[in-house]
Amino acid sequence: MAEEGKFKVTIDGISLEVTPGTTILNAARQIGGDIVPPAMCYYSKLEGSGGKCRTCLVKVSKGSEKDPRPMPKLVASCRTTVMDGMEVQNITSPDVVEARKGVVEMLLINHPLDCPICDQAGECKLQDLGYEHGAEQTRYEFERRTFERIDLGDKIQLHMNRCILCYRCVYVANQLTDRREHGVLNRGDHAEISTFISQALDHEFIGNVIDVCPVGALTDKTFRFKNRVWFTKPVEAHRACPTCSGKVTLWYKGEEVLRVTGRKDDYNEVEDFICNTCRFERKRTADWTLEEPTLLPNESVITANHYTEFAPPPVIQKNKELQVANTEQLARTERLK
């Protein structure tokens, strides 16, 4: 019997009690582990997000105690709220596994194989989703959509070829800025993220569109082609910033801070959105107070070059050979920009 004012829900045989209004996805996140459905478009800190990518589909085998009938179709767990007595199947349902495979195939229809050169490789959620739920090959035989790369201001570049239309960047522009100069143009298979009349994105918080993008569609031009993330060492740091929280992750290679991002939680969501000043203009160790190495999941490829104990000297000491190697590597990849 559920506690008064709570709903009891069972997901893959595991029961818990949640407050009314909780979605199936967030209920699963309270349990954790493999039964949490993947989510490419839902972002808990962006109001209205979710319901776009359909990767979080689940099967409701029992609607509630009052109405135990199963729901006739698979539902999006990020948009469906729990009912008292609801029973849900995620990885235990063959229908869900098969549907998720089809969703991944659809997302990859126009997505190019840019992983060897894409800056998102190593921390790309679509890459993870493809390995976990994708098919060995696609049945799509038609020509893919292609777009020219667009500079959205002097710090952000848009590769629409890689975009999966999750709408996260649009919600960031709507909710973190006082004006929106980019959005989804056209409809159907012609839909694309773009700016109207080539407007540049210049708001102080617009750099967060890079952090929320689950693929490599929106990239940091100050970091592009400089290095692979698994060759870097992320460190938690903070500063007294008058605009934002100032809590960030610094990505080191040797003594260099190659990029600055917002801190992310277990579900790859930014804990606090940061300003452009912290992101693009504070790339020296002297600008920050270092805290500790960023905790990473064991399955992350970035852990291959990680460490568990915080030792500032190895992070910031001068390494002439590494500096020369970085310069040579950047020169080789400069032509790709």
pLDDT at residue 313 in the model: 44
**For the chain, the helix, strand and coil percentages under 3-state DSSP, each to the nearest 5:** 30, 20, 50
pLDDT of 337 higher than 60:
no
Contacts of 78 (CB under 8 A, 6+ apart): 23, 24, 25, 37, 39, 41, 42, 50, 51, 56
Give the whole-angstrom CA distance, residue 219 versus residue 109.
21
Q: Which residue has the tokens 């539902």?
A: 75
Q: Torsions phi, psi of 119, nearest 5?
A: -65, -20
**Percentage of the residues of the chain whose pLDDT score is greater than 70:** 92
Average pLDDT of the segment spanning 221-250:
91
Q: What SS3 class is residue 293?
A: strand
Average pLDDT of the segment spanning 103-132:
88
Tell me which residue of 218, 219, 290, 215 sits closest to 251, measured CA to CA: 290
Tell me which residue of 70, 35, 32 sits closest to 56, measured CA to CA: 35
Tell me which residue of 107, 131, 38 sits closest to 77, measured CA to CA: 38
Grade residue 9 by pLDDT with cuts at 50, 70 and 90.
very high
Grade residue 39 by pLDDT with cuts at 50, 70 and 90.
very high
Q: What is the pLDDT of residues 60-69, one digit of tens each?
A: 999 999 999 9
- Report which residue type is found at 236: E
Grade residue 40 by pLDDT with cuts at 50, 70 and 90.
very high
Torsion 58-61-67-71 (CA) sign: positive
Average pLDDT of the segment spanning 202-217:
90
Sheet containing 233-238: give its strands across. 256-262, 247-253, 233-238, 289-293
Q: For residue 327, give both structure tokens.
A: 């310069």
Whether the predicted model's global pTM rises above the 0.75 cut? yes
Q: For residue 278, give both structure tokens.
A: 């912290």
82 within 8 A of 7, measured Cβ to Cβ: yes
pLDDT-wise least confident of 89-103, 142-156, 160-174, 204-218: 142-156
Q: How many residues does the chain have?
A: 337
pLDDT at residue 75 in the model: 95
**Percentage of the residues of the chain whose pLDDT score is greater than 90:** 43
pLDDT at residue 56 in the model: 93
Q: What is the pLDDT of residues 311-328, one digit of tens each?
A: 544 444 567 777 787 777
pLDDT at residue 308 in the model: 64
Q: Torsions phi, psi of 137, nearest 5?
A: -150, 160
H or E element in which residue 330 lies: helix 320-333
Give the whole-angstrom CA distance, residue 286 versus residue 143.
50
More confident residue, 335 or 98: 98
Give the whole-angstrom CA distance, residue 198 versus residue 38.
34
218 within 8 A of 248, measured Cβ to Cβ: no
Return the number of other C-beta atoms located less than 10 Å from residue 134's C-beta: 19
pLDDT at residue 319 in the model: 72
Q: What is the pLDDT of residues 176-193, one digit of tens each?
A: 887 777 888 888 878 888
Using alpha carbons only, what angle is made at residue 45 by residues 40 and 50, rounded to the nearest 5 degrees?
A: 35
Mean model confidence pLDDT for the chain: 86
Q: What is the pLDDT of residues 281-291, one digit of tens each?
A: 999 999 999 99
